Each structure stands twice: as structure tokens, then as C-alpha cells.
Amino acid sequence: MAYRLSIELSERDLKHFLRELRRAREAVGIADDEEILGAADELVASLRRTELPDFVTARLAKLELMLAMMRDDDWELDAQERNPVLSALAYLCDPEDIIPDNIPGIGLLDDAVMVELAFRELRHQIDAYEDFCRYRKSLLPRKAMPKGDPATLTAKLGRRRAQLVARMRRRRNDERKRGKS
């Protein structure tokens, strides 16, 4: 029998988690992107080999999506867009975070919360990336694409990426303006 537990994070609670995310963001400043991504890859592989609580398993796909977004050569993000993702990944890779990961049953609870917070903060980037992946997938099997013409595919992907990045930034800016009002 499943038991649903809902936790409402107050503004103070959110500030605490966001402060930890900022701390991780500072660590990103001294770590190499590839080090963070490599550590996150190892974390995912380790988690996949482990029997996890369902609340962690449910968020593992989100973590893998963030990693895919960062590693996708067709999806280029500038530092402003990369740093929040790297910060979330750096936090998740730290075994001595708010709740040390080695505590049975609850050690990954804060990590699950952080994945949710990161996804909320990065929703416009993630939405744009998912749209980009769908678009790319729709192009690949088409017979209309000339065989052996990667330049056409690259140009189409570049135009779509530019549209989606512009949308992502517009939505993020609109949201910030509404939040300041």
C-alpha cells in the first residue's frame, strides 16, 4: 500500500534550499564543467545499480534529462544557462549535502527536493530542450531530407534552436518581471 506524504516548503525552507544551491553554484566556479558532468554520470550509474526509494527513482529521469541537455552537441547553452544546471548537478553529487546520502531511507530526500527545485527553476530551458529533441527526432526519419546533406540538417536545427532559446529567454524574463511586480 502506497502512502502519499506531501510537504509544503515555506518561504524560509525554500530560502534554505536555494542557499544550498547557491553554495553549490559557488563550487561550480572552481570546478571544471566536465568534472561535474562526469561526477553526475557516475552518480546516475551508481543510482541505477542501487535499489532506490521510489521518490528517488521518479526523479532519476529528470536528472538524466538535465545531463543529456548539458552533453548535447546540438543544444548549445551559454554560461548563464549552463551554470544553474551545473549547480544542481554539483549539489546532487555532494554526498555530504543537507542530509548525508548514506543515511538509509532518507539520505536522498534532500536530493529529490533539489531535483524538483532545479526543474522548477530551469523549466523554460528544459521545455525548450524537450521541444528541440522532438523537432530533431521528427527530422531524422524524413525522406524529404536529402541523404548525405548534413548541412541542411544542421541549418534547420540551428534555426529551431535559435527560436527555442529566444522563447526560453523571453519566458524567463517575463516571469522575472512578474515576480518583481
Q: Per-residue pLDDT for the chain (181 aa), expressed as one digit of tens each? A: 777 777 788 888 888 887 887 777 676 666 788 888 998 899 899 888 888 777 788 888 888 999 999 999 999 888 878 888 888 888 888 777 777 777 777 777 778 888 888 888 888 999 999 999 999 998 876 555 555 577 888 899 999 999 999 999 999 889 888 875 4
Cα–Cα dist 27/127, whole Å: 26
Cα–Cα–Cα angle for 123, 124, 127, rounded to 5 degrees: 80
Burial of 145 (0-12, 13-18, 19+ CB in 10 A): middle
